[in-house]
Amino acid sequence: MVHERSPVFTTPAEIYEHSFRIHSALTAVREDDREFTYRDLWLWSDAVMEQLRQHSASAGDVVGMFAGNRAEWLVVESAVARMGLVRTPANHMSALETVAYQLAYAEAAFLVTDYDLGSALLAHLDPEDQPVLLQLEDPAGRTLPDAIPLAPLPPPGTDPDRTEHSVDPESRAGIYFTGGTTGRPKAVSHSARSVAAALYIQMVEAEIRPGERMLIMTPLAHAGGSLAAAGIGRGANVRVVDSFDAHRTVDLLLHDRTTWTFMVPTMIYRVLDLLDARAADGAARSDGPGSAAVDLALNTIVYGAAPMSPTRLVDGLRLLGPVFIQLFGQTEAPQFCTRLSKLDHDPNRPELLASCGNATLFTDIAVTDDAGTHLPPGEFGEITVRTPFALTEYIGNPEATAEKFWDGWVRTGDMGIVDDAGYVYLKDRKNDMIISGGFNVYSREVEDALSSHPLVAQVAVIGVPHHDWGEAVHAVVVKRSAGTDGDELTDEALRTHASSGLARYARPKSIEFTDSLPQTPFGKVDKKSLRAPHWEGATRQIG
């Protein structure tokens, strides 16, 4: 079926190919020791497309991605988009059992991975239903069994394929997984039109400009990858780093002339501490009246995934000036449902620093009651959104899909209020989700891991305030009687037991032992009463 191009690009394929053409000579992606232009990305994307065709890939096939932060992520993403394939990224910080489940549920036909992560994952995959493995180049020359090396960048002198690849805007383009609050993660389906809309919104609301020197340190399977893709669509210069290190980040901010970066609050706090020490020593000061205390090229820090302490925001504004943009979204309506703009980060209006901002371009925000009725400003209820970058469905779960929508509005599961000016204030979560260090942690998943210990009788997991992580995972545990061998349940033993099945960020930061858990009149664990003493006096009850 042929789909004619719209005057407005409605698929990621159109966005990528437009950027490849008009930014061909510009630098697109940098690593520590590698650098690629937009022409390189174009040629490499062509080569990966041809490789996938040779292995019988066709529109609608699912390509899994499970690797560390490398330029190949963006190459493969563009190739997948241009062929009308479906991407399903897996976070390299997730538990291997979770990744294997996601790939199987998505029915991934291909898996792009590196040696270290791929070799660890293989033991968890069904050998009789294993995807075709495409392995990224390994510095030590190691290869996975039965893996095919990912197509390399073609040699100089190769011409790019100028064919405009037409993709149906309503076709599935991405499968992304939530964490499971009451069981397995749900598979969220997004169309090509939805993914394209999300890229446009990020370009605008995250203030990404052509030539922007972007720094991405968070996993490319997470929000950082989506923002990097938006940068590629805009003609930015995207530097990808394999992991976050505060000292290295400060060096990059100072010496690489970074103009734009994305961080979660925990990362920002550590960078601010180092920059504050430099400013206190009188190093790298700016002499301009009313300017930031540290002289950087940085003009934008986008943060999200967790709330940031208003006190630390004031510190950041003092050190860096008006550079902050906060985002709020979720897998079902990714990244930018609301944003707290640079202008809104105003120490003279401290009440706004506890908000996650107001609705982004093309997005409507409402607060609804349990019947889906829209409530007036200032009334507490569930935050709902209407946006062109919303999910299509939960794959294989029509009941959850029906429950997610209120007459075309997406229910976020976050509880809060919207004031008269449209600013959103998050207060609680329906599903007891915890956000720690910028990652979603689902209490049920942690509870299941802890309760599998033979000496655990009952457990409840909640989020408690943490100055660095935003929220910390806290477990309240009722012990069973010790066995005949006299073993006692300790913090260390319980953490060790649970660690193999949980991502690092989901492991409890603190464990409290108690004789019993409080219950509601309906016989459920009363998590509200468990949280209350930890959150007493907090201005932002969501974390």
Q: Residue-wise pLDDT tens for the chain (543 aa)?
A: 444 555 567 999 999 999 999 999 999 999 999 999 999 999 999 999 999 999 999 999 999 999 999 999 999 999 999 999 999 999 988 889 999 999 999 999 999 999 999 999 999 999 888 999 999 999 999 999 999 999 999 999 999 999 889 999 999 999 999 865 445 789 999 999 999 999 999 999 999 999 999 999 999 998 999 999 999 999 999 999 999 999 999 999 999 999 999 998 878 988 998 998 877 766 444 444 345 667 899 999 999 866 677 778 888 998 999 999 999 998 999 889 999 999 999 988 888 888 899 999 999 999 999 889 999 999 988 999 999 999 999 999 999 999 999 888 999 988 889 999 999 988 766 666 788 888 877 776 788 788 788 888 788 888 898 888 888 999 999 887 655 455 688 888 898 888 877 888 889 999 999 988 886 544 457 787 888 888 876 655 554
- Residue 450 domain-assigned? yes
* Residue pair 212/237 in contact by the 8 Å Cβ criterion: yes
Question: Are 47 and 116 members of one domain?
Answer: yes
Domain that includes residue 516, residue range:
434-535
Domain boundary among 363, 394, 429: 429
Q: How far apart are CA 302 and CA 341, in angstroms?
A: 10
Domain boundary among 380, 410, 429: 429
Question: Are 186 and 311 members of one domain?
Answer: no
Question: Are 386 and 399 members of one domain?
Answer: yes
Q: How far apart are CA 424 and CA 340, in angstroms?
A: 9
* Phi, psi torsion values for 522, nearest 5 degrees: -95, 5
Domain boundary among 233, 267, 289: 233
Question: Are 393 and 484 members of one domain?
Answer: no
Q: How far apart are CA 177 and CA 175, in angstroms?
A: 7
Pairing of the two strands 409-418 and 405-406: antiparallel
- Residue 179 domain-assigned? yes
Two tokens at 105?
A: 């549920």
For the entire predicted model, the pTM comes to 0.81
pLDDT in tens, 470-494: 889 999 998 876 554 556 888 888 9
Two tokens at 207?
A: 């203030």
* Residue pair 441/371 in contact by the 8 Å Cβ criterion: no
Question: Are 207 and 304 members of one domain?
Answer: no
Question: Are 205 and 277 members of one domain?
Answer: no
Question: Are 369 and 472 members of one domain?
Answer: no
Two tokens at 252?
A: 């990059």
- Residue 543 domain-assigned? no
- Residue 216 domain-assigned? yes
Could you give the dihedral angle defined by the CA atoms of residues 262, 237, 290 and 275, in that order, rounded to the nearest 10 degrees?
A: 60
How many CB atoms neighbour CB 189 within 10 A?
20
**The CATH number of the domain where 46 resides is what?**
3.40.50.12780
Question: Are 202 and 266 members of one domain?
Answer: no
Question: Are 40 and 122 members of one domain?
Answer: yes
What's 127's DSSP letter?
A: G
Q: How far apart are CA 492 and CA 355, in angstroms?
A: 37
Pairing of the two strands 110-113 and 132-135: parallel
What's 431's DSSP letter?
A: T
Query: Amino acid identity, residue 498?
Result: A
Question: Are 130 and 158 members of one domain?
Answer: yes
* Residue pair 107/36 in contact by the 8 Å Cβ criterion: no
Name the one residue in this structure whose structure tokens are 């062929």. 83
Q: What is the model's pLDDT at position 292?
A: 64
* Residue pair 60/86 in contact by the 8 Å Cβ criterion: yes
Bin 235: left if φ > 0, else alpha if -120 < ψ < 50, else beta. left
Q: What is the model's pLDDT at position 520?
A: 53
**The CATH number of the domain where 456 resides is what?**
3.30.300.30
Bin 326: left if φ > 0, else alpha if -120 < ψ < 50, else beta. beta
DSSP 435-495: EETTEEEEHHHHHHHHHTSTTEEEEEEEEEEETTTEEEEEEEEEEPPP-TT-----HHHHH
Nearest of 454, 446, 502, 514 to residue 474 by alpha carbon: 446
Nearest of 452, 455, 453, 460 to residue 508 by alpha carbon: 460
Contacts of 255 (CB under 8 A, 6+ apart): none
> Angle CA(121)–CA(127)–CA(131) in degrees, nearest 5?
70
Q: How far apart are CA 440 and CA 5, in angstroms?
A: 37
- Residue 117 domain-assigned? yes
Pairing of the two strands 35-37 and 237-240: unpaired
Domain count, the chain: 3
Question: Are 425 and 464 members of one domain?
Answer: no
Name the packing angle between helices 38-54 and 71-83 (round to 10°): 60
- Residue 1 domain-assigned? no
- Residue 2 domain-assigned? no
Question: Are 33 and 53 members of one domain?
Answer: yes
Alpha-carbon distances of 244 from 170, 306, 389, 479, rounded to whole Å: 36, 17, 29, 37
- Residue 6 domain-assigned? no
Two tokens at 356?
A: 């996650």
